[in-house]
Structure 1
């Protein structure tokens, strides 16, 4: 897109945002039509399921409509849209992971995870555990207490008899090492692995 076209597009979006903030439904419909494909593609990257991606895309725009009064404060709508969609997608994935340790236990979870997706997430989960085994002893302990047992940094510091700052340091090192490990061993599903790593909270 040329610079002049970008400027015109930005002006059009800003005008729509002002109209939407006033509750103008047609303006909202125009905004949805303008950005639907982008958000949907983003969702498909995460969940790899058309139906779920479609539902999540609807949720993203519903969230924007619900908080439309705030749109007048938005300087860069593309950045705002990305943040809203990312947060909803990660929240959805966290709920999936929290559901019986990635095992489908209900009819709903079975529709949420197709068999091949279940296998992929199990493989990624197993890969992360192997990566944890490769960490230094202190990084392992911090990661397991924080991400698998759900302890706060304060609780970890008390348990390990170290400072909270040291806990943060070892957690940062552990997460960075695991990102590198996932990248080296599973580049095909790197994004899904990183999201799983972010959301992981049980062993």
Structure 2
């Protein structure tokens, strides 16, 4: 984490709203495409992004102790996405292609996305066969846990367990091999 960001986080912890706005501007550009990909709704992605930053603000007193703020943002964001999945609040419409394209036309983002796609493919290939199969059915074919369970003849809880383990493994793999910032982007690329 950059020293300037560490100082900004100390100011946020003290209640400095301008410092917090700098954090929001910086990280919303990273998490919004991620949210848009998974939530498939610009409105819902914006709402969840606001919720992410609201949670960070409510827990601002802990920020000086956070050694990996990008990772912290990632965890808060993923937890909010996961909550949306668990509550079944996701719309089935396609994501706003224009907004996703705009987010991806940034040259730096495009380079990171290419690098991340290769790392992500290697990470998925490292999963045990059954876990890989379940993960790909969920992410590529967009099947629900119930649909995967029915297709594979296993329980929904087994599917959920495999998905949790797959996501934990993939997050750790990305942190080790791609860095934390690029790990924030992993979810909105086409995995295959």
Task: Give the match for residue 175 of structure 1.
Answer: 162
- Deviation of the 1:34 alpha carbon: 1.0
Q: TM-score, normalised by structure 2?
A: 0.54
Q: Deviations over 1:60-105 (max 9, x none)?
A: 0000000000001100101111001001110111111xxxxxxxxx
User: Are residue 46 (structure 1) and residue 47 (structure 2) matched?
Assistant: no
* Bigger Cα Rg: 1
Scaled by the length of structure 1, the TM-score of the pair is 0.51
Once the two structures are superposed, what CA deviation does each residue of 1:119-150 show, in whole Å capped at 9, x if it has no partner? x99961364034432xxxxxx3xx35xx2xxx
Deviations along 1:169-189, one digit per CA (max 9) or x if unpaired, are xx59x837xx7xxxxxxxxxx
Distance, in Å, in 2 between the alignment partners of 1:94 and 1:123 is: 14
- Residue 16 (1) aligns with residue 8 (2): yes
Distance 2:80 2:64 in 1: 22
The 3-state SS of whatever aligns with 1:23 is coil
Q: 2:152 aligns with which of 124, 132, 139?
A: 132
Cα distance in 2 for residues equivalent to 1:81 and 1:123: 25
1:59, distance to aligned residue in structure 2 (A): 0.5
In structure 2, do the counterparts of structure 1 residues 115 and 53 end up closer, same or farther at CA, with 3 Å as the change threshold?
closer
The alpha carbon displacement at 1:13 in A equals: 1.0
Classify the secondary structure of the residue corresponding to 1:124.
coil
The CA distance in 1 between the partners of 2:94 and 2:16, in whole Å, is: 43
1:150-193 deviation line (CA, Å, top 9, x unaligned): xxxxxxxxxxxxxxxxxxxxx59x837xx7xxxxxxxxxxx69x
Q: What is the root-mean-square deviation of aligned Cα atoms in Å?
A: 3.2
Give runs of ≥4 in structure 1 deviating > 6 Å: 120-123
CA distance in 2, matches of 1:115, 1:30: 32
